[in-house]
A and B are shown apart, each in its own frame.
Chain A
Amino acid sequence: MQSKKQQKLVGQLLVNGILLLICIAWTVPTLGLLVSSIRDREDIQSSGWWTIIPHRGWVQVSELPIPENASVDSEITIEGVTATYDEFRAGVDTGDGRQFVWIGNLRNGHIQVKDRQWTAGSNFTLENYGQVLVGKEYTIRNADGSTSTVQGDDLSASFLNSLTVTVPATVIPILIAAFAAYGFAWMKFPGRRILFIIVVALLVVPLQIALIPILRDYVKLNLNGTFLAIWLAHTGFGLPLATYLLYNYISTIPRDILESAFIDGASHFTIFTRLILPLSVPALASFAIFQFLWVWNDYLVALIFLGVTSGNVQVLTQRIAGMVGSRGADWHLLTAAAFISMVVPLVVFFSLQRYFVRGLMAGSVKG
């Protein structure tokens, strides 16, 4: 009895331990990103984000002049410590807890004397967030020689654009897919299976191959660069998965519930709105999260259908990608921008999360 209990406890500990490890492994990169987003550009380039954690490190305590007549090839003695030049450059332990490091070369160098001490990087700044949110400032010299400061674009316009793209691009496919899923699950009509198989088959079609043909059609319809275009595109690309997912859920609703409704004289539409929709909230919500995250983070589709010739409809991902500058000089801003763009998906996820956990089971019971 006792050993059985113990076994159970060990098993639990093991499972929880593994889960904890996985959680940490998944979270660490995000943590690093967060830390980097509040560090200076030069700090990011010169040391890792983990140096902000207190650790034992070598700290310079004093400085010595370099010995005269030293050469690269022969041994050098500094305060009783003898080593080659290259060893001194790499750092030589003196044996009494100190370290000598040769900084610079034979002409302009000096010796750093270092002690092992507790250190932690503590140089934090909100500058990155400021530049991302408010826009960078540039100094422009006008033709008449005067200089003026120009404020670069901030995120607000593209943030609104992203919302404008994402919300309808999430709602429209869910609506259509819910109707379709109901039809496939509960309405009898010829060709139902074939149609359903076609929808499922569309799951494996990569959206990339459809980009140019759709772009051509859009150009002919004069739709390109409009929000309607990208809503339709995301709806189309999202529909197969949505239909499939919702079908699996809706078809598991017990037949009895629907049959009693039929007997009471309810039409398909009434059943759909009164019964099916309320019952499938978990599935709808979990698909909404999928679709929302996908559209919010989408870069490719927006780039093709929105981005080429009209700057005022740029979405967040495009704006952030452009933020690094023509030659990638400002990549340190990406960390801050990433966190800002993360806010909305986090809000959506946490507000729909309780459905999400339930909804993950959607379709897992019956295929």
Chain B
Amino acid sequence: MSSKKRVVVFALLAALVLVMVACAPKATPTPEPVAEPEAEFMCPSDWEMLTPELEAACMGEYDGMVVTMTGPFTDEDEVKFNESVAEFEEWTGIDIQYTGTKEFETIITAAVQGGDAPDIADFPQPGLLLNFVKSGDVVDLTDVMNQDWLKKNYKQAWLDMAQMEGIQAGVWARYNGKSQVWYPQPAFDDAGYEVPETWDEMLALSDQIVADGDTPWCIGIESGAATGWPATDWMEEIMLRTTSLENYDNWSFPADPADRLPFTSPEVKNAAQVMSDLWLHEGYVYGGTAAIADTFFGDAPLPMFDDPPKCWLHKQGNFITSFFPEGTVAGEDYDFFYLPPIDEEYGKPYLIAGDIYAMFDDRPEVRAVMDFFSRGESLRTWLGSGGALSPHNDAELSWYGDDIERGIAGLVNDADSVRFDGSDLMPGAVGSGSFWKGMTDYFSGTVDLDTALSEIDAAWPSD
């Protein structure tokens, strides 16, 4: 009986196997015809002048490949970044894996030295990227990118700033505007104050606020290990407004070491003087000048939102809006005006800072992603969600999510000149070292101006 059963089971099994084997070859050819129509151009049809790699990526040739990225933006910005590349990932099947770290400066150095560099890295400071250009780790984009396209989609100033040590070190991905002075609009209007058009009008407004028994400025430069950077922004703004662009360039990023404009020069000292006339002016700063170095830069504008405001004016980049109290609305609770010019001769310059993407591994799919980043499309949802400005010419003003950022982007487009944050361009020892420290020391009253300036200058590398 049992042996019969076994035979039956065996027969059934054998039949099953036969059926499976018979079915198998039929199953395989079915997906093939489906694969054929996939090879069509998936990216927006109005993209032009694509590199062959991006073309191939849009045809789905790099489907399933991974491109790794590292950068300093975390959390909210990380989500916004991932959203902004999500469509591209859908079109091409390339997986862009981004890892954000708060210790980007440290980590990228360790990773590159250890031979574990990501495919693409996001540098908020070109000065840091320069280190890797010098060490030969960055891929020269001159032959990787379509230069005609870059010329068409970027202002020449951007392309010039991407040239380091004779190579094209990266593509500019985002920027933020710095020359804004924020003010609490409803209270400002109620009090009958008017937006100043010139530096003197701004000082008159400050005096007016003091005469009204209030403090005009909210200033805070504390930022952990980076304490002092908001002060360097002010210096750069005033440099741009009191001296020539040539001097500014020679001060921040001299093409020839012989042309370098030292911190001890009269031009720089004059700018520092203009700045300290405002910062150290009796009664101008909320909490007194002693509070400047102790106040966290993100907390500094908060007294502006008290009712009534405890201070009225705050100069900072557009990212500061993420520190404003929850529920405050751009254009209703606050607005901004352009930090006015000082000397008409130097027009209306705009100070900006931004992120440059550099490529560390030359593979076709990485090239395709780099080309994608040179297009406004790569920022589209980010612009809509707020927190970034686009350096691309093909990004439309209508893409911006709020009037403030649209306004800043418009102002930057119309500015007489645009210059990059000088301290980000300077060598690290100065730009993210002695410059921060020197300004902090001076405004906290530890050293006098001449000492501070010569100490800053002493850190400039001699090579």
Contacts and interface: CB of A to CB of B under 8 A. Distances in A.
Interface in A125-161: 136, 138-143, 145, 150, 152
Residue among A140, A142, A216, A327 with most chain B CB within 10 A: A327
Contacts of A6: none
B192 to A, nearest CB: 7
Interface stretch (B4-12, B102-110, B366-374): B102-110
B299 interface: yes
A212 B381 CA distance: 38
Interface residues of A, number: 52
Contacts of B83: 140, 150
A65 to B, nearest CB: 14
A310 B68 contact: yes
A321 B104 CA distance: 12
B384 A142 contact: yes
Given A107-B191, A224-B116, A327-B319, A303 B299 contact: no
B384 A322 contact: no
A322 B78 contact: yes
B187 interface: yes
Interface in B335-361: none
Interface stretch (B25-33, B147-155, B209-217, B266-274): B209-217
A324 B102 CA distance: 9
B171 to A, nearest CB: 20
Interface string A149-193: 010100000000000000000000000000000000000000000
A107 B192 contact: yes
A324 B296 CA distance: 14
B323 A140 contact: no
Interface in B69-101: 70, 72-80, 83, 87, 97-101
Contacts of B210: 72
Given A215-B110, A224-B116, A304-B110, A140 B384 contact: yes
Contact of B110 (A143, A145, A211, A225): A211
A143 B308 contact: no
Nearest to B97: A311
A109 B107 CA distance: 51
Interface of A: 41-42, 45, 72, 85, 89, 102-109, 136, 138-143, 145, 150, 152, 211-212, 215-216, 218-220, 224-225, 303-304, 307-311, 314, 318, 321-330
Given A142-B384, A309-B116, A327-B298, 15 more contacts: A42-B325, A42-B326, A45-B302, A85-B213, A104-B214, A104-B308, A105-B213, A106-B212, A140-B80, A143-B380, A150-B83, A218-B114, A308-B107, A309-B70, A325-B322
24 contacts: A45-B299, A72-B212, A72-B213, A103-B308, A106-B211, A106-B212, A107-B191, A107-B192, A138-B80, A139-B385, A140-B381, A142-B384, A143-B87, A143-B381, A143-B399, A215-B115, A215-B116, A216-B115, A225-B116, A309-B99, A323-B74, A325-B75, A326-B76, A327-B323
